[in-house]
Amino acid sequence: MPDKLTVKCPTCHKIVIWQESSLYRPFCSKRCRLIDLGEWAGEEKRISSQRNISEIDDWSEISDDHDIKK
């Protein structure tokens, strides 16, 4: 039988077996999942970007690919 795939819970770093019965994967529990969600909602976590969208004055000039039209 092959080794079971394991990951660390992103919140508490507890080892989690990656299988269908692990309901909260990659988290170890509902509590850790909600802590992570709260960090995203509170903007403690964010995806970095090279561009600050809030600095753009005219949103209507942004094309679908997010480049400013000239």
List binding-site positions for Zn(2+).
9, 12, 28, 32
Tokens 């507890």 -> residue: 14
CA pair distance 38, 5, nearest whole angstrom: 27
**Which residues carry a binding-site annotation?**
9, 12, 28, 32
Torsion of CA 65, 62, 51, 33, to 10 degrees: -70
Tokens 């970007």 -> residue: 49
